[in-house]
Chain A
């Protein structure tokens, strides 16, 4: 079963991390992620820019463009992993490993994927590290 692991946290708190702590957490997450990649269970991974960079199109009789995320929430969607596991328990175990690598506030939503389409971008993109 494919799952999307949606990463939520208070983006202001994440932005307030010291550089050493930020680097430490990223390194810990990379270890967890790499292990999964070696098992062939890791699909696309994305880290999103802060919600201040977001724009929302609200559908209606007349579409409305709004600056910011679709809703003001206490925790924001900061990124996601697409992973392949045999069971929900296994996916939750992975989420637990992520939580240990990145302790404190926040949540990981484990959401089963109904359909995954894989398309290739025409242009090679430099990742924004």
Chain B
């Protein structure tokens, strides 16, 4: 008990529940955050000696609510109250609160808290920053570091975003089933954006950014706790876990990108893969496929292959065909072409992606894939041109370096190999 580090985890995990309940109570985000903050300070003072309460979230709600009410009253100068409210005799009230925390309302409270961050007028990056600040409880400094901007800039961004969502109205009534589904979808999208913010990192800041991916996974688990039988939420969490599992293998020592088929699979995280595969198994039983489930199923096939040669490309091709139907997009077709190349050769894959050129001409990955296919077909000069365009569009030095390796190999190879 002497080392109170364990307390961080308890406070962090209780935060969404407690803050969501306080928000319903006060209907004001700033007041709810202040109340939660005050409750945390009191927890830090009393828990290390007394041990944690049976229901940390209920304790924080109760103490936070009372503290904020006292504060409001004190400011209003209506009554003089004792400095330290008597919080030792909370058990009864806590228990009653705990009963309600297990119910429907608590689920809608947390969903509302998440949904507030997904305000449609906010650009995606601000939605993510807001969720990290409000729901995950990261400090502005931590968020600024992850986004590689100054603390002052991030502070301003979050303040503005908060003002905006404060003005918007997210009703506090129990949402209808349709509203609930709509909120759930918006929240899932935001969580996956957050994950990608952490996943699509360059090597230099991969470690710091990985924390964003981990926060996204925590939010995914939270969402699945709220909607334990929703197969798309299972799919979303599985997808994030299976991708996260490969993170340690994505760059080599020199910081170069390592493609999936060249990755050292012993570096993949077995625990995350096990959890991801378990969730996909659960989701499939519902027979209600959706985009997250299909993408997770594709990631699962990669995870199940012990070597790149063992990859079930035929199944991956089928899954991409499914995804094209569920969520048509040229990028999905481009990804499918990679599977088609393995199955039916570069000619077929190239035929599949050529029509995508008008839509994807500004997309790094398109020219990279096209170059590689042309290279396989021995169309060297066209391949060189594609790789050149890819380098020009690269988002990071590592991406550019990766394409340059292909170019070097082209240079070294005889002209019509």
Contacts and interface: CB of A to CB of B under 8 A. Distances in A.
B52 A105 contact: yes
B292 to A, nearest CB: 15
A126 B269 CA distance: 11
A50 B221 contact: yes
A16 B3 contact: no
A67 B237 CA distance: 15
Interface stretch (A7-15, A33-41, A83-91, A115-123): A7-15
B415 interface: no
Nearest to B225: A52
Contacts of A68: 228-229
A10 B56 CA distance: 10
A105 B10 contact: yes
A67 to B, nearest CB: 4
Contacts of A104: 1, 6-7, 9-10, 52
B116 interface: no
B102 A10 contact: no
Interface residues on A, range: 20 to 34
Contacts of B285: 55, 65
Given A16-B13, A129-B271, A52 B228 contact: yes
B52 A67 contact: no
Interface in B277-293: 278-279, 282, 285
A128 B222 contact: no
B278 A49 contact: yes
A52 B237 contact: yes
A67 B271 CA distance: 20
Interface string A12-41: 111111100100100000000000000000
Interface string A57-80: 000000001111000101000000
Given A16-B218, A126-B270, A10 B13 contact: yes
Contact of A128 (B54, B234, B273): B273
B49 interface: no
Given A16-B218, A21-B8, A105 B275 contact: no
A13 B13 contact: yes
Contacts, number: 90
Contacts of B1: 103-104
Contacts of B52: 104-105
Contacts of B229: 66-68
B347 interface: no
B10 A10 contact: yes
A53 interface: yes
A10 B98 CA distance: 15
A9 B1 CA distance: 15
Q: Which of A16, A17, A72 has the most C-beta atoms of chain B within 10 angstroms of its own C-beta?
A: A16
Q: Which of A10, A53, A129 has the most CB of B within 10 A?
A: A53
Contacts of A102: 6
B97 interface: no
A24 B8 CA distance: 14
Contact of A103 (B6, B13, B14, B234): B6
A16 B11 CA distance: 9
A52 B274 contact: no
Contacts of B234: 67
A16 B278 contact: no
15 contacts: A12-B221, A13-B9, A13-B13, A16-B13, A16-B218, A52-B237, A52-B279, A67-B234, A103-B6, A104-B6, A105-B52, A126-B270, A127-B270, A128-B274, A128-B275
Interface of A: 10, 12-18, 21, 24, 49-50, 52-53, 55, 65-68, 72, 74, 102-105, 126-129
Given A13-B56, A105-B52, 7 more contacts: A12-B222, A16-B9, A17-B9, A21-B9, A49-B271, A105-B56, A126-B270
